[in-house]
Amino acid sequence: MDSLAAVPKRFASLLALLLALGVFVSACGGDDESSSESEGEETSLESDAPCDEAETPQPQEFDLDPPPNEPSAESLTAVVDTSCGVFEIALDTKGNPKTAASFEYLAENGVLDGTPFHRIVPGFVVQAGDPAGTGSGPGPGYSVDEPPPDDTGYTQGVVAMAKTEAEPPGRSSSQFFVVTAADAGLPPDYAVAGEVTEGLDVVETIESYGDPAAGGTGTPLGVVLINSVTIEEG
C-alpha cells in the first residue's frame, strides 16, 4: 500500500507543511541559533508555569555500538521523569522488538537523560531525545531499521521514533515523539517504540509549552527537560 494513502485528507496539508519544515528531521539548522543564544539561561513559560524551571542543557555526545536486536524482557516500561512530571511508556517488545531494544539501550546508556523537548507542536506531537539538544545532532552513533506495518496508526499516546524524510521507513536513532493528537494522520514511516500508559496528563502539560505561532517548527515557549529515563521490568 502506498504510505501516503494512510494520511487522512484533513491532515494532508498539515503533514505537507510539517514535513517541509522538518518536524521529524534529525537535522534542522534553524534550531541551532536559538539554542546557543539561550544556553545556560533559565527559561519558563510564565511566573505560574506548570513545570519546574529548567536551563538549556549542555550538548552531549555519544558514540555507542549498535544495540541488541531483542529487548531484555517481554514486558518493559520506560519511566520518563521530566521537569513537568513523570509519564510511563509500555515498550512494544513483541510488535517492534528491535525498536524497543534500542529504546531500552538508549535509556540504560543515559542518552536520553538531560535532553530537552526541542520541538512541541500543539495538537500534534512533542519530540525529544537529541543529545545535542537542538534536533540536529548526530544522535547516539548508530541507527536501527524496523519498518512498521502498513496499518500502523499514530494516535494519542503512541511513542514513535523520529527520522529525516530522506531516511527509509522505520529507521531510528535516539529522537522520539509522543503523539498528542487524537490521530496525527501520519503515514506508516516511523518505527513505534510503545505507548504512554501512565501520565498522559504530563504529556499534555509538556504540550502546553508549544507555541501555536511557531507552526510546524515547534519551537517551545520554554525549556522542558527529560531528567532521566529508567527501564522497569513488568
* DSSP letter for each residue of 186-204: --TTS-EEEEEEE-HHHHH
Question: Would you say residue 8 has pLDDT above 70?
Answer: no
3-state secondary structure of 157: coil
Q: What are the sequence ranges of the domains in the chain?
A: 3-44+52-233
Cell representation of residue 168: 527509509
Cell representation of residue 118: 526541542
Average pLDDT taken over every residue of the chain: 85
- Tell me the whole-structure pTM to 2 decimals: 0.82
Length of the chain, please? 234
Question: Would you say residue 65 has pLDDT above 50?
Answer: yes
Question: Would you say residue 143 has pLDDT above 50?
Answer: yes
Confidence band (pLDDT; 50, 70, 90) for 118? very high
Q: What is the pLDDT, as a whole number, of residue 48? A: 65
Mean pLDDT of 118-129: 98
Query: How many of the other CB atoms lie within 10 Å of CB of 129?
Result: 27
Confidence band (pLDDT; 50, 70, 90) for 144? very high
Residue from 154, 173, 126 nearest 27 by CA: 173
Q: How far apart are CA 217 and CA 19, in angstroms?
A: 10
Question: Would you say residue 205 has pLDDT above 50?
Answer: yes
Span 10-44, pLDDT tens digits: 344 444 444 433 445 443 333 333 333 334 444 44
Look up residue 26 and give its DSSP letter. S
Strands (DSSP E) found in 44-124: 54-55, 76-82, 85-91, 119-121
Domain 3-44+52-233 is found in CATH 2.40.100.10: yes
Span 150-166, pLDDT tens digits: 999 999 999 999 999 99
